[in-house]
């Protein structure tokens, strides 16, 4: 009713009120289907996983899981004595090394395909091959090549190097990183390329007018443009590396060598080979929390959101 | 699959309860007509077309006998199977009949979701007597509590290259592990090796260790006690690793082999023995360079370091390997399920299955008809001398712990003589994990 009041009476507060009205009248109910879906697909399973992590659920109690004994934080305590910390360390270090190594490769590849030349389309397509291959295929091919009598060792022996074991022992850790880098660098490349494309033509012209040679131009003009997208790419890539299950599973099998017993592997083995569903749920929840903390801090620090509002939230 | 998805999967498994509670029952009503029996069975990737044909054939026969349909559902990996069992067990609906691997039967039993076979149930499928007695060894913890109905056997044997053995002056395959090691040394020269062994396989290593240890009188589990730190286990690991690290009678590349890779290497015709194989390998062997020059033989049954089996040793020629059929406790079609089990365990169906897929019959009469096949004789003998692995819900974990010792030791095998101190500490770790799993067993 207030909106019907004569305009001259309360002119100044009007826009404020208008805003209030539109905010209140937003058809939020339209979000219901999405919200319901989110609840069913994400929230409910997460709550269930939390619940399962607090009960002693295994093959013996599975059939009457509702009656499985509640054991509080025992699963969490046991997680720490079951090698989870070591797995987290392996996962995080592996992910960070992989990301750090893929950034220069990705950016270099993006720069190489930035300017037009004959065959650029082909080069761009070839660069994407590792990325479009399914992880399972990548791991199977590398597994075959890295056999003790595989093609890699055959080549190495031709130049007088004894290749040794790639898929067992301490070196398996570096094998995992190597294959991950091979498969994941095009992601950084794609993000960097997208950022390069968005650099205004005027910027190139201006640096040409100023007589900037390629290196100062690259370092002071182009790279700052890439900062945001590449940082975002680093974040996403690191998370992808941490969550990669297929690659270590196919490369090394289960049980995996201690050096590549990454988080998804230990959760998988606990759940599907030892059948300790409660314990594995606790491990998964812990992993989630441990990854979420630095992620949260990082997101706050780099403020990936471009809008002020989003940043403040 | 990533960590989050695994969590979600575990949760969704539990969610299934709610969903299933609203779902309908399996097809009800009296008489077979109009009903459908759901059977979960492992996919056969080796002979997919024949497998399709077999399913069709069984469906037709089943319909003729009962009027009901059979719907086959296949799983691609043990993991798929486990997930299916989990969701069905939690929700109380799903397949009526499951075909599961023998070593998985104790785990399935521990869920309590399958029909225990009493006299009445056995008689419905044609009597317990129709099976090769050895195959019943892993049907349940004792005779009164059996859930697994033997379906097919895949007893393990070794294959040997007749030509290479003859050339080395060996007139018959080894019957003790020590004799085998000695023969392997004789056979190793140039690019020719005594043994083909799948060191990187995810299952093979524990089978060797269990076998040698059982023959020495220690079946690894005694009631609720794990006995992995026993000298017999230590000796088994030392022998198994020693072939590569100390005796050097195995191709060094074997450190990266799974079972099919070891089979392929043996099929090239430059290896004396291929340990741990079964009749399903026939085709690969017949297509390789070794064609017509190989035979099966019983694996040695005298433990390493001995010339005869000790008094408490067991003549374990193979783990009791193959598939069991389980009828789900929640099934509304139990009678039909037993009809199906009867059909596929009858002599004729068993022989037909053997011809198509190389899996030996669990049916005693059907097995007997194969005894005249000279090539097969060691395998049928192994089927009779198969010994069940300990029947405990903890077995999956013990198996994993035993394999883990092998996985972690592999890198050291290339560095010359085996470091027994390190091996012992790994075995001690396996013992700890096995015992903790046994403590949880109910």
Q: How big is the CA angle at A252 (ends B236 and B211), to the nearest 5 degrees?
A: 20
Residues of chain B found within 8 Å of residue A66, distances taken between Cβ atoms: 17
Of A289-298, B162-171, B248-257, the range with the lowest mean pLDDT is A289-298
Question: Are residues A229 and A194 in contact, defined by beta-carbon separation less than 8 angstroms?
Answer: yes
Interface TM-score (ipTM) > 0.85? no
Of B289-298, B364-373, B431-440, the range with the lowest mean pLDDT is B364-373
Q: pLDDT tier at B28 (50, 70, 90 boundaries)?
A: very low
Q: What is the pLDDT of residues B324-350, one digit of tens each?
A: 999 999 999 999 999 999 999 999 999
Residue A279 has pLDDT above 90, yes or no: yes
Domain count, chain A: 1
Overall average pLDDT of the A34-41 stretch: 95
Question: Residue A78 falls within a domain, yes or no?
Answer: no
Overall average pLDDT of the B351-372 stretch: 91
Q: Three-state SS across chain B?
A: CCHHHHHHHHHHHHHHHHHHHHCCCCCCCCCCCCCEEEEEEECCCCCHHHHHHHHHHHHHHHHHHHCCEEEEEEECCHHHHHHHHHHHHHHCCCCCEEEEEHHHHHHHHHCCCECCCCHHHHHHCCCHHHECHHHHHHCCCCCCCCCCEEEEECCCEEEEEHHHHHHCCCCCCCCEHHHHHHHHHHHCECCEEEEECCCCCCCHHHHHHHHHHHHCCCCCEECCEECCCCHHHHHHHHHHHHHHHCCCCECHHHHHCCHHHHHHHHHCCCEEEEEEECHHHHHHHHHCCCCCCEEEECCCCECCCCCCCCCCCCCCCEECCEEEEEEECCCCCHHHHHHHHHHHHCHHHHHHHHHHHCCEECEHHHHHHHCCCCCCHHHHHHHHCEECCCCCCCHHHHHHHHHHHHHHHHHHHCCCCCCHHHHHHHHHHHHHHHHHHHHHCC
Question: Residue A139 falls within a domain, yes or no?
Answer: yes
Is B3-154+320-387's fold the same as B157-316+392-440's?
yes
Position A219 scores a pLDDT of: 87
Domain range annotation of chain B: 3-154+320-387, 157-316+392-440
Question: Residue A295 falls within a domain, yes or no?
Answer: no
Position A309 scores a pLDDT of: 43
User: Is B7–A255 a contact, with Cβ atoms under 8 angstroms apart?
Assistant: no
Distance from CA of A146 to the nearest CA of B (A): 9
Overall average pLDDT of the A100-126 stretch: 93
Average pLDDT of chain A, as a whole number: 87
Residue to mutate among B2, B21, B196, with most A CBs inside 10 A, is: B2
Residue A168 belongs to domain spanning: 90-257
Residues 124-163 of chain B whose Cβ lies under 8 A from any Cβ of chain A:
none
Residues of chain A found within 8 Å of residue B197, distances taken between Cβ atoms: none
Q: What is the pLDDT of residues A70-79, one digit of tens each?
A: 999 999 999 9
Q: What is the pLDDT of residues B233-264, one digit of tens each?
A: 999 999 999 999 999 999 999 999 999 999 99
Position B4 scores a pLDDT of: 53
Residue B12 sits at the chain A interface (C-beta within 8 Å): yes
Residue A203 sits at the chain B interface (C-beta within 8 Å): no
Q: What is the pLDDT of residues A54-70, one digit of tens each?
A: 999 998 888 888 888 99
Residues of chain A found within 8 Å of residue B15, distances taken between Cβ atoms: 44-45, 48
Q: What is the pLDDT of residues A220-244, one digit of tens each?
A: 888 888 988 898 899 889 999 999 9
Residue B194 has pLDDT above 50, yes or no: yes
Q: pLDDT tier at B10 (50, 70, 90 boundaries)?
A: very low
Residue B8 sits at the chain A interface (C-beta within 8 Å): yes
Question: Residue A273 falls within a domain, yes or no?
Answer: no
Residue to mutate among A50, A163, A168, A292, with most B CBs inside 10 A, is: A168
Of A27-36, A167-176, B83-92, the range with the lowest mean pLDDT is B83-92
Distance from CA of A199 to the nearest CA of B (A): 36
pLDDT above 70 coverage of chain B, percent: 93
For residue A226, give both structure tokens: 């890439």
Residue A76 sits at the chain B interface (C-beta within 8 Å): no
Overall average pLDDT of the B269-285 stretch: 92
Q: pLDDT tier at B416 (50, 70, 90 boundaries)?
A: confident
Residue B19 has pLDDT above 70, yes or no: no
Residues of chain B found within 8 Å of residue A280, distances taken between Cβ atoms: 6, 10
CATH number 3.40.190.10 given to B157-316+392-440: yes
Position B159 scores a pLDDT of: 96
Question: Residue A197 falls within a domain, yes or no?
Answer: yes
Q: pLDDT tier at A21 (50, 70, 90 boundaries)?
A: low
Minimal-distance CA residue of chain B relative to A81: B433
Position B88 scores a pLDDT of: 87
CATH number 2.40.420.20 given to B3-154+320-387: no
Residue B5 has pLDDT above 60, yes or no: no
Distance CA B248, CA A149 (A): 16
Question: Residue A102 falls within a domain, yes or no?
Answer: yes
Minimal-distance CA residue of chain B relative to A51: B11
User: Is A52–B79 a contact, with Cβ atoms under 8 angstroms apart?
Assistant: no
Q: pLDDT tier at B25 (50, 70, 90 boundaries)?
A: very low
Average pLDDT of chain B, as a whole number: 90
What's the CATH code of the domain at A151?
1.10.3720.10
User: Is A281–B404 a contact, with Cβ atoms under 8 angstroms apart?
Assistant: no
Position A232 scores a pLDDT of: 87
C-beta atoms surrounding A128 within 10 Å: 14
CB neighbours of A127 closer than 8 A, spacing ≥ 6? A109, A113, A186, A189
User: Is B7–A284 a contact, with Cβ atoms under 8 angstroms apart?
Assistant: yes
Distance from CA of A237 to the nearest CA of B (A): 14
């Amino acid at each position: 009713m207030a909106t019907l009041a004569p305009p001259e009476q309360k002119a100044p507060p009007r826009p404020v009120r208008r805003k209030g009205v539109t905010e209140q009248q937003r058809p939020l109910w339209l979000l219901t289907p999405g919200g319901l879906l989110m609840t069913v697909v994400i929230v409910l399973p997460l709550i269930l996983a939390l619940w399962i992590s607090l009960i002693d659920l295994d093959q013996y109690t599975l059939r009457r899981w509702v009656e499985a004994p509640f054991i509080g934080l025992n699963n969490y305590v046991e997680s720490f004595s079951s090698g989870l910390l070591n797995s987290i360390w392996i996962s995080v270090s592996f992910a960070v090394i992989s990301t750090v190594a893929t950034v220069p490769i990705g950016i270099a590849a993006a720069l190489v395909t930035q300017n037009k030349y004959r065959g650029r389309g082909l080069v761009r397509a070839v660069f994407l091959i590792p990325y479009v291959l399914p992880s399972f295929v990548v791991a199977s091919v590398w597994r075959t090549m890295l056999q003790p009598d595989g093609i890699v060792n055959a080549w190495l022996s031709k130049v007088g190097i004894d290749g040794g074991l790639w898929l067992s022992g301490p070196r398996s850790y570096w094998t995992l990183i190597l294959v991950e880098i091979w498969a994941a660098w095009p992601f950084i490349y794609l993000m960097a390329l997208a950022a390069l494309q968005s650099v205004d033509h005027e910027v190139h012209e201006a640096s040409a007018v100023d007589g900037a040679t390629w290196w100062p131009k690259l370092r002071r003009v182009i790279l700052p443009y890439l900062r945001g997208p590449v940082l975002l790419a680093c974040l996403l890539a690191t998370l992808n590396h941490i969550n990669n299950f297929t690659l270590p599973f196919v490369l090394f099998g289960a049980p995996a060598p201690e050096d590549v017993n990454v988080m998804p592997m230990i959760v998988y083995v606990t759940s599907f080979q030892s059948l300790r569903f409660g314990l594995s749920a606790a491990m998964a929840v812990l992993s989630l929390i441990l990854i979420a903390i630095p992620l949260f801090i990082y997101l706050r620090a780099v403020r990936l959101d471009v809008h002020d509002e989003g940043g403040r939230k | 699959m990533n960590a989050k998805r695994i969590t979600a999967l575990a949760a969704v498994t539990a969610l299934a309860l709610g969903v299933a509670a609203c779902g309908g029952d399996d097809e009800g009503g009296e008489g077979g007509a109009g009903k459908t029996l759901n059977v979960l069975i492992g996919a056969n990737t080796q002979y997919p077309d024949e497998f399709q044909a077999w399913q069709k054939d069984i469906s037709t026969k089943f319909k003729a006998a009962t009027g009901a349909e059979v719907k086959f559902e296949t799983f691609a990996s043990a993991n798929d199977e486990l997930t299916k069992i989990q969701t069905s067990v939690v929700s109380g609906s799903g397949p009526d009949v499951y075909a599961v691997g023998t070593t998985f039967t104790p785990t399935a039993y521990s869920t309590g979701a399958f029909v225990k076979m009493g006299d009445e149930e056995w008689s419905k499928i044609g009597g317990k007597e129709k099976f090769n007695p050895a195959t019943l060894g892993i049907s349940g913890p004792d005779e009164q509590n059996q859930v697994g109905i033997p379906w097919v056997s895949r007893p393990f044997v070794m294959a040997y290259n007749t030509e290479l053995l003859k050339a080395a002056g060996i007139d018959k395959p080894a019957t003790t592990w020590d004799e085998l090691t000695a023969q392997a040394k004789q056979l190793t020269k140039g690019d020719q090796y005594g043994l083909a062994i799948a060191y990187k396989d995810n299952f093979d290593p524990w089978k060797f260790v269990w076998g040698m240890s059982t023959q020495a009188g220690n079946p690894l589990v005694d009631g609720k006690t794990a006995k992995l730190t026993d000298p017999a286990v230590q000796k088994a690991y030392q022998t198994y690793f020693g072939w590569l690290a100390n005796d050097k009678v195995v191709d060094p590349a074997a450190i990266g082999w799974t079972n099919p890779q070891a089979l392929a290497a043996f099929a090239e015709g430059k290896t004396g023995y291929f340990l741990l194989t079964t009749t399903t390998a026939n085709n690969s062997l017949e297509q390789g360079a070794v064609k017509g020059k190989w035979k099966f033989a019983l694996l040695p049954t005298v433990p390493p370091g001995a010339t005869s089996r000790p008094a408490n040793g067991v003549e374990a020629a193979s783990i009791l390997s193959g598939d069991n059929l389980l009828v789900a406790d929640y099934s509304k079609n139990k009678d039909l399920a037993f009809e199906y089990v009867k059909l596929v365990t009858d002599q004729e169906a068993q022989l037909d299955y053997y011809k198509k897929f190389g899996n030996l019959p669990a049916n005693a009469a059907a097995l007997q008809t194969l005894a005249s096949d000279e090539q097969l004789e060691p395998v049928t003998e192994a089927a009779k001398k198969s010994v069940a692995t300990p029947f405990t819900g903890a077995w999956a974990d013990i198996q994993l712990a035993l394999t883990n010792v092998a996985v972690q030791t592999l890198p050291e095998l290339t560095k010359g003589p085996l470091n027994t101190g390190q091996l012992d500490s790994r075995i001690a770790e396996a013992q700890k994990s096995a015992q903790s799993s046994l403590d949880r067993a109910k």
